[in-house]
Structure 1
Amino acid sequence: MGEARPAGAPTVLRVVLGKRLHDLREAAGLSFQEAGRALDVTHATIRRMEKAEVGLKVPYVEKLLRIYGVDDPAEVEAFLALTREANRPGWWHRFRDVLPEWFSAFVSLEGEANLIRAYEPHYVPGLLQTEDYARAVLRAGQPHAPEAEIERAVAVRRERQHLLTREKPPLLWVVMDETVLRRPIGGPEVMRAQIARLIEVTSLPHVRLQIIPFAAGPHPAMYGPFHIFRFPIEELPDIAYAENLIGASYFDQRDDVSAFLEALDRLCAQAAPAHTTKAFLGGIRKEI
């Protein structure tokens, strides 16, 4: 009995195609079991294909499309072309030696989103870090890692940052605690350069940066950092991402994501307005 083999972290396109297969199966009135029997695989394989937990084999997809009643040759070929593209590894694949599997999915979401919102209470987000700041953060988190491994991880951050300078960059909206700016990471020179970088990005039309000062008091997102991704793709819902010491969680259920969105909206209202951020950063830089 043939089985689709497990794949690495899914690309966003693979997630989209999985959702399309799900919709086509339901429109055809077939269960997981019926689709699996037609393909000579288990019902669990069909479920995993739809959830993008395994790669999409082109012969399997082609047969499923016929089973689901998709008989237009042009439509079938277009779907198969997307399947082949979805199976190509992302750029981050070459960094799999230093990139955890759970974070590879984050990089894929980040690269396809047209809106990235984030709350960060501890560090400057990776997309806005200087190399020296990134190096210091990584060394603090991985004190026993070889120097070459740290440099590979810095290279990943450098690659990720290219999305801010591409032709159609996403809107990046970040709220940071004042703690991020007060925590000395890498020494005064590194911090001054990092704050200078933040001042620089405040002038970009697709970057919105807000600081929540100590004086603002408690707020609804104090439990930890998180990201929310929104996509220009109808099949993809908003996705929230929360990281912890040994991994991360992804949320795509409406109620779960709404909780993150509500907390972030309240936090943005409580933080200093974005137009004051440059002056706020300049004041802190002078103090260092």
Structure 2
Amino acid sequence: MKQSADTSSRVSTVLGRKLGTELLHLRDSAGKTQQQAAQTLSATSTKVVKIERGWVPVRDPDLRALCSYYGVTDDAVLRSLLELAKLDRERRRAKGWWQQLPGAGALSEYIALEDAASRVRTWQLAFVPGLLQTAEYARALAVGEGTWEDPDEVDQMVGTRLKRQERLHGDRPLHVYAVVWEAALRQLVGGPSVMRAQLDQVRELTELPNVQLQVLPYRAGAHACAASSFTIVSFAEDAAADVTHADTIGTTVWVENQELSTTYRTFFERTARQALAQRDSLTLIDEIRKGL
């Protein structure tokens, strides 16, 4: 994952961005400016900007003052915003192992989102999803990509990937729905022995009740998700919108706009309908493994 321009050190603020967006809409509807809102808080407009962009936590007194100024009279709306602010503050205080990753940048934010998530849906064109990878497969990918020159950095990356897989087990297991292009399973990452072990692990993990995998075969032809891979991260809290994450060669893309998020979900579902059912997908995986 590449470093994005604005995610160098922050904790996941998906809930903060959701709250900020709600407050921005309320301000716009009330016909107020950021400067006027700032005066209500006896603060500068910079503070309002940071609140609306989800960069800082919001105290309950400030939230109540803004809602009153914006003319919010519905107690249910106010309670919802207060709960969202509370969840955001709690999430920011949480200290996760991923925050100790030197230079991880956007990777740290993604792991924070994944750790807080209840479900991820991932579409992969080129490789097995990270949550399903073996150490040897992950290492071969890192070496092949060439981003990490120091062997210690490669070891750290592999360890991080394996640490993430702990979310597949335990008291609150992450639900994973993966759709993978057949090419990703045929690419000899690390050679035949590494790929055999990787396909075996995919098979093993699909036995978990919280892991679902489908393979989009070559014969499916054209499909909605041919342009790029992406992952949709979903949360248990009703107030938290889905976040879609996609890596390109040079940047990391985050999509939190509701309309665009819906588009990604629609495209994912279309491609999943063209993919093989899990039972047939595992049969194809067995055929690929035998051919190695």
Does structure 2 retain, via aligned residues, the 8 Å contact 1:122–1:177?
Answer: yes
Alignment of 1:130-149 (within 5 A): 130-142=134-146, 145-149=149-153
- For the pair 1:90 / 2:90, whether they are aligned, the reply is no
Structure 1 counterpart of 2:250, one-letter code: I
The alpha-carbon deviation at position 253 of structure 1 amounts to: 2.0
Taking a change above 3 Å as real, the CA distance of residues 273 and 55 of structure 1, as seen in their structure-2 partners, is same
Q: Secondary structure at the match of 1:218?
A: coil
What residue is the counterpart of 1:185 in the other structure?
Answer: 189
Q: Which has the higher contact order (CA 8 A, sep 6+)?
A: 2
Equivalent residue pairs, number:
274
Match of 2:163 among 138, 159, 166: 159
5+ residue gaps, structure 1, are 1-5
Alignment of 1:1-288 (within 5 A): 8-15=10-17, 18=20, 31-52=33-54, 54-56=55-57, 61=59, 63-65=61-63, 67-68=65-66, 82=87, 85-88=90-93, 89-95=95-101, 97-99=102-104, 101-142=105-146, 145-288=149-292
2:32, 2:129 → 1: CA distance? 44
Does structure 1 retain, via aligned residues, the 8 Å contact 2:41–2:65?
Answer: no
| CA shift digits 1:102-139 (9 cap, x unpaired) | 23222222222222111101011111111111111111
1:81, 1:217 → 2: CA distance? 47
Taking a change above 3 Å as real, the CA distance of residues 145 and 221 of structure 1, as seen in their structure-2 partners, is same
Does structure 2 retain, via aligned residues, the 8 Å contact 1:12–1:108?
Answer: no
1:258, 1:14 → 2: CA distance? 20
Does structure 1 retain, via aligned residues, the 8 Å contact 2:15–2:240?
Answer: no
Does structure 1 retain, via aligned residues, the 8 Å contact 2:143–2:154?
Answer: yes
| CA shift digits 1:224-250 (9 cap, x unpaired) | 101112222222222222210122111
Structure 2 counterpart of 1:46, one-letter code: V
1:117, 1:206 → 2: CA distance? 12
| CA shift digits 1:29-51 (9 cap, x unpaired) | 86422232344543243222232
The alpha-carbon deviation at position 266 of structure 1 amounts to: 1.3
Structure 1 counterpart of 2:193, one-letter code: E
Structure 2 counterpart of 1:67, one-letter code: A
RMSD of aligned Cα (Å): 3.0
5+ residue gaps, structure 2, are 1-7, 69-78
Structure 2 counterpart of 1:228, one-letter code: I
| CA shift digits 1:139-180 (9 cap, x unpaired) | 111255100011111121122111111212232111101101
Structure-2-length-normalised TM-score: 0.81
Quick one: percent identity of the two aligned structures? 30
Does structure 1 retain, via aligned residues, the 8 Å contact 2:40–2:66?
Answer: no
1:240, 1:183 → 2: CA distance? 26
Structure 2 counterpart of 1:131, one-letter code: A
The alpha-carbon deviation at position 261 of structure 1 amounts to: 1.7
Taking a change above 3 Å as real, the CA distance of residues 217 and 208 of structure 1, as seen in their structure-2 partners, is same
Taking a change above 3 Å as real, the CA distance of residues 149 and 276 of structure 1, as seen in their structure-2 partners, is same
The alpha-carbon deviation at position 182 of structure 1 amounts to: 0.8
| CA shift digits 1:205-262 (9 cap, x unpaired) | 1111000111111211111101112222222222222210122111122321222122
Q: Secondary structure at the match of 2:177?
A: strand
